Amino acid sequence: MVILDTETTGLEPEQGHRIVELACVEMVNRQLTGRNLHIYLNPDRDSDPEALAVHGLTTEFLSQHPRFEQVYQEFIDFIEGAELIIHNAAFDCKFLDAELRRVGKPPVRDLCEKITDSLLYARELHPGKRNSLDALCERYGISNAHRVLHGALLDSELLAEVWLAMTRGQDALLMDFQEETQSVSSGVGGLPSVDTSVLRVVRASSEELAEHQVYLELLDKAVKGECVWRRLEPAPDAVAAE
């Protein structure tokens, strides 16, 4: 699993906007591995003032870094075959697809195993509430006090913590089930072993058996034949043997 985030020069790649920062953090078995990919990119253009106010990455700073066409293979190698967790995946994917298209590569969905939008997941989990990354950090008690500006690596790491918090219930259910099954000794078919010698057997009285026969006769009339329970009754010889 790879948690991914980008920062861009604006809102629309169709208007020539580009990715200026790309970050991926790897998670295996619900643990961050410490293996990350973090790249600043030269977009060969200025950021819109609104975008610059969000990420603070100036044209002068970005001009010192590689262009996407110089590092795209490193990105592909990192995400290939992985499930991607992206907050508002439609936004990031349209920029990634535009960058990949420029270097003659297929869209990101064809390069990874699966894309999961954590924003859509959060909206299903918390309908009618704010589900921005900041709002989710506050809801789950995850400190983002150091997040003055947006940054792809920092946001990816925060999203990883948020994702673990949002999906913790699924993991807890599985752990509870495993602990419960491990706490009992297994019998046939994985069921707990039971000492049948201590079980009390309560047999039906003659009055209860008579009421049962009356009920079966009513069922016979309802189905205009022999009801299925007749086939389950023990044979007379078996009853006598008891």
Residue positions annotated with a catalytic role: 150
What is the Cα–Cα distance from 74 to 39, expressed in whole angstroms?
A: 10
Structure tokens at 221: 């009339």
| Widest Cα–Cα separation across the chain | 99
Q: How far is CA 85 from CA 25, 36, 116, 220, 229, in A?
A: 10, 14, 5, 60, 54
Q: Return the amino acid letter for 57.
A: L
What is the Cα–Cα distance from 51 to 219, expressed in whole angstroms?
A: 75
What is the Cα–Cα distance from 68 to 96, expressed in whole angstroms?
A: 10
Q: Which residues of 28-63 are buried (b: 16+ CB within 10 A; e: fewer)?
A: eeeebeeebbebbbbbeeebbeebbeebebeeeebe
Distance of CA 228 to the CA centre of its chain: 46
Structure tokens at 118: 């954590």
For residues 138, 139, 140, 146, the Cα torsion angle rounded to the nearest 10 degrees is -10
